[in-house]
A and B are shown apart, each in its own frame.
Chain A
Amino acid sequence: MEKKTGAQILVESLLKENVEVVFGLPGGQALPIFDAMHGSKLNFILTRHEQAASHMADGYARSTGKPGVCIVTSGPGATNIVTGLATAYMDSVPMIAISGQVATSVIGQDAFQEADTIGITRPITKHNFLVKDVKDLAKTIKEAFYIATTGRPGPVLVDVPFDVQRSVCEFAYPEKVEIRSYKPNYNGHIGQIKKAAEVINKSERPVLYVGTGVVVSNAEDEILELSKKANIPVTNTLLAIGAYPCNTNLSLGMLGMHGTYCANKAVQSADVVIAVGARFDDRCTGKVCDFARKAKIIHVDIDPAAISKIVDVDIPVVGDAKTILKEMVCLVDRKERKNWIKTVDAWKEEHPLSYERNDDNLHPQYVIEKISELTKGEAIITTEVGQHQMWSAQYYKAKRSRLFLSSGGLGTMGFGYPAAIGAKFGNPNKEVIAVAGDGSFQMNMQEMAVAVLNSVDVKVVILNNQYLGNVRQWQEMFYGKRYSHSCLAKRKECPKWCNTPNRDACPVYVPDFVKWAESYGVLGIRVTEKKDVEPALKKMFETKGSAVIDMWVEIEENIFPMVPAGASLDDMITRMNG
């Protein structure tokens, strides 16, 4: 058998796993790995910050369904991907992170660029490995991919010490993987499925509550079939946007804090809630004890620990959503549920998503609507976190799943732009647009170099309101309009405390995103008026290569509807003062 170094084994193993692209940044304790890459077929993308590398791997994974891979060095390289790992862990994204580590002989001696990477990443990875012997390396990589991609997916980190990268052993990539302590269960218990179907058949006001698990198991068709056959309205989480076609009459849109009126109403009035691959996140449930009070809860999930973690579940069905739904569809009666559908339709009409459409002001929601219209909902949209994220969720009508990529659980600002670059690597023929706030874009905008140098055509639309807008909205609504440290235009000369932002009077905003884009040789456009939105977007889409539009939107626009944090879904605020 052929002998190889640990570093060569690592690179070969990644190729055996059909890894198309790896994101990362080299450093001292990872140099043998980077040396082994030299001249290899592995497509490595050098990022400007390790955090961005982890988000790129994440964006690649979310958009393709294949595991994303990043490689970083020890110490600061590894700590810089902590946010990316936590983001992927919360949202069940399959990811492999490989970190260099100081040599086994000096581990624990506070060596240069040493950090306890395994200890630090233990609670934010599905699993992690420290490889102490080169003979275990190939097997470990195989297991890492297996664990990351099966069951409820998640990030797996493999920490590889310097001496292990340089040690030599015989290399054969294992064909099979068998971990006695890890056996995810895919088939739902038939008795439970029958019970669930009986409850659905008896119900008058059922609601399907669809989460990421449906996307992970490719169960979109089965959800559609179930909802149509039994006439069950469908609401989705932020991460499952596009999993259910939004143009059908049974679609309620997103539920929760910034969900639609009809979705929250329907859940609160339902007699059965069928949660599929969703985890009852507090942003979805509102006050837990008030969530769907009248409903029996059926919960289909591959993660047994998700069952009854937050909301008591009446009928749990543990297993793969697609497999379970296929059986459930057969057992569910065809039923019209006319009254229920009528009630739901009335809620839709009572309070549809709305903003001031008739004035000339540049409302951020208008920008998203235009993007949705011009791309026909077929582009990949990534978001950062904040107001722009919620407006994108509300107004971008994604045609299918894996087109709306957003950090849901962790709420990571700085996620969207690198995730867009990662998504573009996985989908070179799709339009990819990073919708950003002016605050969060500044957290990882250095990655434009990666987009430009690799000719990765990612468009950026900044909804610039010169504030950390979501923070400002909460300060306006719940903190007496005390805009404490949320203004991004504030200078030394400004009054110490200000709650009257006004573009004409406020100091010049920095950075000038147009000039900034131009410094990368990229098209930059500033839009300050509503009439210029569509032409600018068209110009952006016609442009080959990256482009940035800096949209100066209404500063004090708020997201509605809104359920205040900790309140019941019944206590929705549909608009200001009303």
Chain B
Amino acid sequence: MRHPVSVLVENKSGVLARISALFAARGFNIASLCVSETEDAAISRMTIVVKGNEAILEQVTKQLNKLVDVIKVNDFKDIGYIEKELALIKINTVNKISRDEIIRLTGVFRAKIIDVSPDSVIVEISGDENKLNAFMKAVLPYGLKETCKTGVSVLCRGNSGKVK
């Protein structure tokens, strides 16, 4: 099972180390981790996708809450949320046929070609995990040169996750 967890933390040096050290020390598994400043420069948001069962998720949220620099933890339990991830994918285009195929697939997945070289293209695609995986699978036969994913970003719908 994978669970997204959104963590609002004090934007100070060493906080990321505290969080990652906690996961390592307690044996929790991270599927993805995405960190950035929020609209308030003093606060950062970390979106962590945790692998594990309900009991592990419960321990993860409790242990995170215990850290002094953690302001709020949201595990999106019973809350509607939006989940997005962006990927950059460099794909081999050895001949015109493969390039045409990739352009076609890009259209189907509502992705964008953002760079074209003689023997490769870079595609930008965003969406949830399923969509990204499906696209990767579709272009795999052409040969993936390099890929880069940002990690999952999550926001709850409406007002349910705001810091008071």
Contacts and interface: CB of A to CB of B under 8 A. Distances in A.
A235 B69 CA distance: 36
B65 A304 contact: yes
Contact of B58 (A118, A147, A180, A308): A308
A410 B59 CA distance: 21
B71 A308 contact: no
Interface stretch (A121-129, A205-213, A476-484, A546-554): A121-129
B62 A181 contact: no
Given A122-B18, A123-B21, A303-B66, A181 B71 contact: yes
B17 A122 contact: yes
A126 B65 contact: no
B101 to A, nearest CB: 49
Nearest to B71: A181
A309 B25 contact: no
Contacts of A147: 68
B21 A118 contact: no
Contacts of B62: 304-305, 307
Nearest to B13: A130
Contacts of B21: 122-123
A112 to B, nearest CB: 23
Contacts, number: 36
Contacts of B58: 308
A76 B6 CA distance: 38
B158 interface: no
B55 A181 contact: no
Contacts of A123: 21-22, 25
Nearest to A152: B66
Interface string A144-163: 00010000000000000000
B66 A308 contact: no
Contacts of A179: 68
A181 B58 CA distance: 19
Contacts of A180: 71
B70 A118 contact: no
A127 B68 CA distance: 7
Size category of the binding interface on chain A? 10 to 19
Contacts of A308: 55, 58-59
Size category of the binding interface on chain B? 10 to 19
Interface string A218-250: 000000000000000000000000000000000
A518 to B, nearest CB: 46
A495 interface: no
Contact of A181 (B10, B14, B17, B25): B10
A119 interface: yes
B68 A126 contact: yes
A497 interface: no
Interface string B153-164: 000000000000
Contact of A305 (B10, B25, B59, B68): B59
A308 to B, nearest CB: 7
Interface string A293-312: 00000000001110111000
B63 interface: yes
Contact of B14 (A130, A182, A305, A309): A130
Nearest to A128: B14
Nearest to A132: B13
B25 to A, nearest CB: 5
A179 B10 CA distance: 11
Contact of B68 (A118, A119, A181, A303): A181
Contacts of A122: 14, 17-18, 21
A242 B10 CA distance: 41
A147 B69 CA distance: 12
Interface in A158-183: 179-182
A309 B60 CA distance: 10
Nearest to A147: B68
A307 B66 CA distance: 13
A304 B63 CA distance: 8
A309 B28 CA distance: 13
Interface string A521-547: 000000000000000000000000000
Nearest to A127: B68
A308 B62 CA distance: 10
Of the candidates B21, B58, B66, B71, the one having the most CB atoms from chain A within 10 angstroms of its own CB is B66
A514 B10 CA distance: 56
Contacts of B66: 303-305
Given A180-B71, A181-B70, A181-B71, A305 B65 contact: yes
Interface string B1-39: 000000001100010011001100100000000000000
15 contacts: A118-B14, A122-B17, A123-B22, A127-B68, A179-B68, A181-B10, A181-B68, A181-B70, A303-B66, A304-B65, A305-B59, A305-B62, A308-B55, A308-B59, A309-B59
Given A122-B18, A181-B68, A305-B59, 14 more contacts: A118-B14, A119-B17, A122-B14, A122-B21, A123-B25, A127-B68, A180-B71, A181-B70, A181-B71, A182-B68, A305-B62, A305-B63, A307-B62, A309-B59
Top 8 closest pairs, chain A to chain B, by CB: A305-B62, A127-B68, A181-B71, A182-B68, A305-B66, A304-B62, A123-B25, A305-B63
Interface of B: 9-10, 14, 17-18, 21-22, 25, 55, 58-59, 62-63, 65-66, 68-71
